[in-house]
Amino acid sequence: MDAAEIQAGLAATGYVAQESTALTLWLSIQLKKPLFLEGEPGVGKTELARSMAEVLNLPLVRLQCYEGIDSAQALYDWDFARQILHVRAAESAGVRDVAKIESDLYDRRFLIARPLLQALEFPCVLLIDEVDRADDEFEAFLLEILSDFAITIPEIGRIAAVEPPLTILTSNRTRDVHDALKRRCLYQYLEHPSIDREIAIIKARLPEISESLAMEVATTVERIRKLDLLKPPGTAESLDWAATLLALGARTISPEMIQASLGALLKYQDDIVDVRALLVS
């Protein structure tokens, strides 16, 4: 599968990707290197990983990062409840071999595989979403995983991926991610789409929309993004707005439709007030 086929495959899923993005994805597959996607919220980073899983016909394994996440939430944990039940069952059965009971407790069947371990066990697309929300310690932990796609569980041994997953990390730029992590990845910055590409995205996701309404949505959102807003709308919000206008039966973006639907596009009251003044005046 070359870059053009990836771009066409993404388009078939409803994701309209730029040539540069499709090329970087192809290189990530060929070089078996993770892809670091950076950009404003709502530009399609997470959706790109979902669409690539569909294109490659692979399951998507998602690790949602957050402040305070650690290896137990990301990699594996032991099922303590089942281990206790196993001990009680062994005692009820009259088993007196303490060493055997203890060794059985750390059998693979008692291991809870979190997303990173799951991604080592079967071919998949691994999405490490919003890595910028995690802390420095977790970034350091990821370095080892992304270097050789293998981990060592003291009680079991080394587990390595037979086939490294297509790994996509996303960042909303809420803070700088360390260079050491970025060095292990290919890099792609996703921008807000041009008007023509946004029209294509809207029509791909909402095939029932008219050409004129899709164009109005795209051009209006482009104007709004140039304002000094707390949260400029991303592609996800423009799709929500277009879907809302369709649900309201709009054929054009009238002042009445703007009043009824801006909550689908903007998420702060101050932004709504500013945009309403621009569009309705």
Is pLDDT of 244 > 90? yes
Residues whose CB is less than 8 angstroms from the CB of residue 33 and which lie 6 or more positions away in sequence, other chains included = 27, 184, 185, 186
Q: Are residues 276 and 208 in the same domain?
A: yes
Q: Do 22 and 3 touch, CB atoms closer than 8 A?
A: yes
- Domain endpoint, select from 156, 190, 224: 190
Q: Are residues 52 and 136 in the same domain?
A: yes
- Domain endpoint, select from 109, 127, 159: 109
Q: Is residue 137 part of a domain?
A: yes
Q: Are residues 55 and 138 in the same domain?
A: yes
Domain that holds residue 86: 77-109
- Domain endpoint, select from 158, 190, 222: 190
pLDDT at 49: 95
Q: What tokens appear for 259 in the block?
A: 């009043």
Q: Are residues 16 and 137 in the same domain?
A: yes
> Domain count of the chain?
3
- 183 CB burial (10 A radius; 0-12, 13-18, 19+): exposed
pLDDT, tens digit (0-9, with 9 covering 90-100), for 73-113: 888 888 788 878 877 777 677 666 666 666 667 777 778 88
Q: Is residue 55 part of a domain?
A: yes
Q: Do 159 and 6 touch, CB atoms closer than 8 A?
A: no
Q: Is residue 38 part of a domain?
A: yes
Q: Are residues 219 and 263 in the same domain?
A: yes
Q: Do 84 and 90 touch, CB atoms closer than 8 A?
A: no
Q: Are residues 145 and 186 in the same domain?
A: yes
Q: Are residues 95 and 63 in the same domain?
A: no
Q: Are residues 216 and 157 in the same domain?
A: no
Q: Are residues 134 and 230 in the same domain?
A: no
- Cα distances (angstroms) measured from residue 194 to each of 146, 182, 198: 33, 27, 6
pLDDT at 79: 77
Distance CA 184, CA 27 (A): 13
Distance CA 265, CA 258 (A): 10
CATH number of the domain encompassing residue 138: 3.40.50.300
Q: Do 246 and 206 touch, CB atoms closer than 8 A?
A: yes
pLDDT at 48: 95
Q: Is residue 149 part of a domain?
A: yes
Q: Is residue 233 part of a domain?
A: yes
The pLDDT mean for the chain works out to 88
pLDDT at 95: 64
pLDDT at 233: 92
Q: Is residue 60 part of a domain?
A: yes
Q: Is residue 114 part of a domain?
A: no
Q: Are residues 60 and 83 in the same domain?
A: no
Q: Are residues 142 and 159 in the same domain?
A: yes
Entry pTM: 0.84
- The residue assigned the tokens 């209006």 is 220
Work out whether strand 76-78 and strand 111-113 pair parallel, antiparallel, or are unpaired: antiparallel
Q: Are residues 128 and 267 in the same domain?
A: no
Average pLDDT over residues 20-29: 94
